[in-house]
Amino acid sequence: MRTRAPAAGWGPTRRTISRVDALLRRAYGTPEARPTGDLLGGLVGTILSQHTSAANSRRAYANLRRRFPQWEAVARASEAAIAEAIAVGGLARIKSKWIRQLAANLSGAPGRTWLGDLERMPVEEAMAQLRALPGVGLKTAACVLLFDLGKPIFPVDTHVHRIARRMGWAPPEASAEATFAVLDPLVPPGIKHSLHVNLVRHGREVCLARRPRCAICPLEGSCAKVGVGTII
């Protein structure tokens, strides 16, 4: 899971990160961390969330489970039938291939045992195992480990990536993978969940891609506003 970080000099201090987490908790509350334990469901749900809205990904997941209540049924289904079920989430043909492969590999007893073993693995080893699966990239693996297993890892999605660059926590040209390499070691384990969840909410409601609402931003005093006025 090694990802090259930007050159030295980038990255906030842990004190700054903790202060931002406190400001976001004051604005949005403290999100409850409740690991689901449903790793296959988490993998599929995160794949469905790629390149679409949260509302559409939830609808796609609900449609899939309504049509195929058991993961074994997903494994037996055709890619076309899966694509039809998840069409509302976009990129259905690509996602249906990944979802069918995951269900075929992991819905049986050996797959469930393999998934169960992830809970006992160190974070880096679990990440490497997950990223070897079809359609599972860095963000998907990190989200599954955080939300479904409760492991201390800090996923960088599109909202976290945008806000981190605007705040000067990573270079404007940094990829999401490079931003993860900067932030994951710096964010204290005890706030990885709350900071991620609240940054995502902040990105959806205030720090918008095109027209950030800086006038009402609880982080206004801590933000370098890098790239505000352009889409980064």
User: Does any domain span residue 228?
Assistant: no
Clarify whether residues 115 and 86 are in a common domain.
yes
User: Does any domain span residue 8?
Assistant: no
Clarify whether residues 167 and 67 are in a common domain.
no
Clarify whether residues 161 and 145 are in a common domain.
no
User: Does any domain span residue 100?
Assistant: yes
Clarify whether residues 139 and 217 are in a common domain.
no
Clarify whether residues 65 and 110 are in a common domain.
yes
Q: Are 24 and 207 in contact (CB under 8 A)?
A: no
pLDDT digits (tens, 9 = 90+) for 189-200: 999 999 999 999
User: Does any domain span residue 44?
Assistant: yes
Which pLDDT value is given to residue 225? 93
Q: Are 206 and 216 in contact (CB under 8 A)?
A: yes
Domain containing 169 equals 14-32+155-222
The candidate with the shortest Cα–Cα distance to 89, out of 133, 130, 45, is 45
User: Does any domain span residue 229?
Assistant: no
Q: Which residues contact 72 (CB under 8 A, 6 or more apart)?
A: 103, 107, 108
User: Does any domain span residue 81?
Assistant: yes
Which pLDDT value is given to residue 2? 46
Torsion angle of the four alpha carbons 143, 147, 150, 156, in this order, in degrees rounded to the nearest 10: 30
The candidate with the shortest Cα–Cα distance to 94, out of 39, 131, 135, is 135
Please calculate the CA angle 21-24-25 and round it to the nearest 5 degrees. 85
CA distance 42 to 15: 32
Choose the final residue of a domain: 149, 164, 187. 149
Q: How many separate domains does the chain show?
A: 2
Clarify whether residues 176 and 138 are in a common domain.
no
CATH of the domain at 190: 1.10.1670.10
Q: Are 146 and 196 in contact (CB under 8 A)?
A: yes
pLDDT digits (tens, 9 = 90+) for 164-222: 999 999 999 999 999 999 999 999 999 999 999 999 999 999 999 999 999 999 999 99
Establish how many alpha carbons lie within 13 A of residue 131's alpha carbon, considering only the half-sphere containing its beta carbon: 13
Choose the final residue of a domain: 122, 149, 176. 149
User: Does any domain span residue 185?
Assistant: yes
Choose the final residue of a domain: 149, 182, 197. 149
Clarify whether residues 53 and 142 are in a common domain.
yes
The CA-atom distances, in angstroms, between 42 and each of 37, 47, 49, 115 are 9, 9, 10, 11
Determine which one of 95, 97, 139, 225 is catalytic: 139
Q: How many CB atoms lie within 10 A of CB 189?
A: 11
Clarify whether residues 68 and 118 are in a common domain.
yes
Clarify whether residues 191 and 218 are in a common domain.
yes
Instruction: Mark the ranges of the chain whose per-residue pLDDT is less than 50.
Output: 1-3, 7
User: Does any domain span residue 4?
Assistant: no
Q: Is the pTM of this model over 0.85?
A: yes
Catalytic: 97? no
CA distance 35 to 145: 9
Clarify whether residues 123 and 207 are in a common domain.
no
CATH of the domain at 78: 1.10.340.30
């930007």: which residue's tokens? 6
Clarify whether residues 80 and 138 are in a common domain.
yes
Clarify whether residues 77 and 113 are in a common domain.
yes
Which pLDDT value is given to residue 1? 45
